[in-house]
């Protein structure tokens, strides 16, 4: 979903430029994690471009591999300004690497904690919720259900 940083959507040419070889990516620092994945800031070496690599630990995922691959494919087809898009994905050892835009400002939760430690005004909360609901409505309209909606993802 929306994670701060540039809202400019990648062009189709930009999406197709990414390779499926781990050798073309340099993982830098960890920028996020969950039960089944770690997200790194990374450099796509051929273009010297900063991106994010989400490394899903396939051994820890309860879904079957086909479901995980299907979800990664869906992320490539998503076309909504409030939903993060995947450029490509591929398997490295026992991990599925999902190559995505890097959102330098972090999650909505991070921004709220840093910039607004005492909370947000109601109109700001309404705006965030409105944009989140637009994203969910888009996904539902495409036949997809997001099963893990929380402020740390936005």
Catalytic residues: 148
Q: Which domain CATH number covers 149?
A: 3.30.200.20
Q: Is the pTM of this model over 0.85?
A: no
6 domain residue, yes or no:
no
* Contacts of 66 by beta carbon, 8 Å cutoff, 6+ apart: none
- pLDDT tier for residue 95 given thresholds of 50, 70 and 90: very high
Q: Evaluate if residue 57 carries a pLDDT over 50.
A: yes
1 domain residue, yes or no:
no
* Binding-site residues for ATP: 54
* Binding-site residues: 54
Which helix (H) or strand (E) segment holds residue 15: the answer is helix 12-16
2 domain residue, yes or no:
no
3 domain residue, yes or no:
no
Q: Which domain holds residue 69?
A: 12-153
What total of structural domains would you count in the chain?
1
Mean pLDDT of 17-37: 92
């Amino acid at each position: 979903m929306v994670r701060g940083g540039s809202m400019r959507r990648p062009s189709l040419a930009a999406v197709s430029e990414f390779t499926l070889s781990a050798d073309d990516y340099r993982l830098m620092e960890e920028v996020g994690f969950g039960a089944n994945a770690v997200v790194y800031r990374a450099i796509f070496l051929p273009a010297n471009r900063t991106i994010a690599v989400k490394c899903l630990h396939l051994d820890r995922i309860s879904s079957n591999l086909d479901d995980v691959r299907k979800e990664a494919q869906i992320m490539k087809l998503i076309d909504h300004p409030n939903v993060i898009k995947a450029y490509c994905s591929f398997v490295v050892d026992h991990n599925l690497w999902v190559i995505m835009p890097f959102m330098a400002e972090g999650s909505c939760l991070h921004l709220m904690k840093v910039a607004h430690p005492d909370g947000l005004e109601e109109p700001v909360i309404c705006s965030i919720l409105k944009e989140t609901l637009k994203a969910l409505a888009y996904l539902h309209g495409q036949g997809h259900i997001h099963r893990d909606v929380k402020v740390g993802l936005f």
